[in-house]
């Protein structure tokens, strides 16, 4: 199968996406019920003709995906569920069940895991999702949370990543960049705390973005809203790695290009002001920040009237022929190629603590 015995390639060389692609390139599908395997937000299983089942899984590792110095365990439990439900909603499906596996070192007392589960169960209750299974085991170091989410949808409603067509409109929900800037504020406070443990930070002005980081909400409302508007996106993905990388996913999967308009990217005023405070370009943060768990989708132009003016949606660009490439049109009317600079869990740089 793999034929490079003896050589040693570090995980960082391939990166997360490259590694998954590399390891799964020999996967063969043999079950009639597997409609779509690896390569989308969730797998699509068809056990009957009425309703498809969608399945997605995500693993969160202490020291890689979260830092317990500023992430309370209850929030962590809640967020871990959100990350997974977001993938189900990105299929335009309804999330119905999750399983949760936890590995925790002995430094965690039972009460710490109770905190974690309180957050998990709060998420389940709020999102009407059933916790139906899991595993709890010890680890030699740290805390690892692995969640699998299951959902359902009518076959015709499901949105994959590959359906975008030239002239489709590019739409995003909510606003972007908040989760990343929230993390920057928390990182800064952690450094201040290290120097002076008695410092009393005033985090009030940052409430919105800290909440975006610590307690994100998955967009359960969007599949329902789209149905009521009678809009079925031609493709959809959730924004976990930053707008730029998600646009590139949709374009590559559908073999199309895209034009994104900088001035149309939705930003919360807090994000704009904190970006100024940190002297960072807010567009860069929206493009590369990640962890916003908003949804990015494409719709046929005929559906424009159905979503225009809806405060949940921002039309940020349109799909083009593949040969035209993927670009952002800046406020200064410059055309710049889009680059994926999303979260890479194997990168050994400052991103590693993201």
Binding site residue list = 41, 56-58, 65, 87, 117, 134-135, 161, 238, 240-241, 291, 343
Q: Which 116-155 positions form the footprint of its own copies (CB under 8 A)?
A: 117-118, 121, 124-125, 128-142, 144, 146, 148, 150, 152
Among residues 68, 101, 165, 341, the one that binds its own copies under rule CB under 8 A: 101
At closest approach, how far in Å is the CB of 140 from its own copies?
A: 4
Does position 7 interact with its own copies (CB under 8 A)? The reply is yes
CA atoms within 13 A on the CB side of 150: 14
Binding positions for ATP are: 117, 134-135, 161, 240
Does position 156 interact with its own copies (CB under 8 A)? The reply is no
Q: Which part of the chain contacts its own copies (CB under 8 A), choosing from 110-118, 199-207, 251-259, 268-276?
A: 110-118
Interface pattern 312-351 for its own copies (x via CB under 8 A): ---------------------------------xx-x---
Does position 31 interact with its own copies (CB under 8 A)? The reply is yes
CB 66 within 8 A of CB 73: no
* Beta-carbon contacts of residue 342 (< 8 Å; ≥ 6 apart): 240, 241, 242, 244, 245, 246, 288, 290
At closest approach, how far in Å is the CB of 322 from its own copies?
A: 27
Among residues 70, 108, 293, 313, the one that binds its own copies under rule CB under 8 A: 108
> Would you give the end-to-end CA distance of the chain in angstroms?
34
Interface pattern 34-73 for its own copies (x via CB under 8 A): x-xxx---xx-x-xx-xx-x-xxxxx-xxxxx--------
Taking the least distance from each CB to its own copies, the nearer of 215 and 327 is 215
Assign 231 to helix, strand or coil.
coil
CA dist 127 and 218 (Å) reads: 9
CB 88 within 8 A of CB 158: no
At closest approach, how far in Å is the CB of 244 from its own copies?
A: 21
Does position 103 interact with its own copies (CB under 8 A)? The reply is yes
Does position 29 interact with its own copies (CB under 8 A)? The reply is yes
Binding positions for Mg(2+) are: 41, 56-58, 87, 135, 238, 241
At closest approach, how far in Å is the CB of 269 from its own copies?
A: 34
* Beta-carbon contacts of residue 310 (< 8 Å; ≥ 6 apart): 225, 229
| Look-up of token digits 């606003």 | 175
Does position 221 interact with its own copies (CB under 8 A)? The reply is no
CA dist 163 and 168 (Å) reads: 10
Taking the least distance from each CB to its own copies, the nearer of 55 and 280 is 55
Assign 156 to helix, strand or coil.
coil
Q: How far is CA 79 from the centre of its chain?
A: 11
SS (H, E, C) 36-98: ECCCCCCEEECCCCCCEEEEEEEEEEECCCECCCCCCHHHHHHHHHHHHHHHHHCCCCEEEEE
CA dist 138 and 286 (Å) reads: 38
The footprint of its own copies on this chain (CB under 8 A) covers a number of residues equal to 92
Does position 207 interact with its own copies (CB under 8 A)? The reply is no
Taking the least distance from each CB to its own copies, the nearer of 15 and 325 is 15
Does position 224 interact with its own copies (CB under 8 A)? The reply is no
Burial status of residue 99 (CB atoms within 10 A of its CB: 0-12, 13-18, 19 or more): middle
């Amino acid at each position: 199968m793999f034929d490079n015995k003896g050589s040693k390639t570090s995980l960082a060389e391939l990166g997360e996406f490259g590694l998954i692609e590399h390891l799964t390139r020999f996967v063969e599908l043999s079950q009639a019920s597997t409609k779509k395997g690896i390569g989308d937000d969730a797998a699509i299983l068809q056990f009957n003709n009425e309703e498809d089942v969608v399945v997605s899984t995500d693993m969160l590792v202490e020291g890689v995906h979260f830092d317990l110095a500023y992430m309370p365990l209850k929030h962590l439990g809640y967020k871990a569920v959100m990350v997974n439900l977001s993938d189900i909603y990105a299929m335009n499906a309804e999330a119905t069940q999750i399983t949760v596996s936890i590995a925790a070192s002995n430094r965690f007392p039972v009460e710490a895991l109770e905190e974690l589960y309180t957050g998990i169960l709060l998420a389940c209750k709020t999102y009407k999702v059933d916790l139906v299974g899991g595993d709890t085991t010890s680890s030699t170091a740290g805390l690892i949370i692995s969640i699998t989410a299951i959902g359902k949808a009518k076959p015709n409603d499901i949105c994959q990543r590959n359906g975008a067509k030239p002239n489709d409109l590019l739409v995003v929900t909510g606003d972007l960049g908040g989760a990343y800037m929230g993390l920057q504020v928390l990182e800064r406070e952690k450094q201040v705390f290290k120097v002076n443990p008695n410092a009393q930070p005033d985090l009030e002005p940052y409430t919105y973005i800290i909440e975006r980081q610590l307690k994100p909400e998955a967009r359960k409302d969007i599949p329902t809203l789209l149905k009521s508007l009678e809009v079925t996106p031609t493709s959809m993905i959730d924004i976990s790695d930053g707008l730029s990388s998600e646009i590139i996913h949709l374009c590559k999967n559908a073999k199309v290009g895209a034009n994104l308009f900088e001035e149309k990217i939705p930003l919360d005023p807090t994000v704009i002001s904190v970006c100024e405070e940190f002297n960072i370009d807010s567009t860069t943060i929206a493009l590369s920040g990640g962890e916003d768990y908003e949804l990015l989708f494409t719709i046929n132009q005929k559906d424009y009237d159905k979503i225009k003016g809806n405060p949940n949606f921002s039309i940020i660009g349109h799909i083009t022929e593949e040969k035209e490439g993927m670009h952002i049109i800046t406020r200064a009317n410059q055309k710049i190629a889009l680059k994926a600079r999303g979260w890479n869990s194997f990168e050994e740089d400052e991103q590693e603590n993201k």
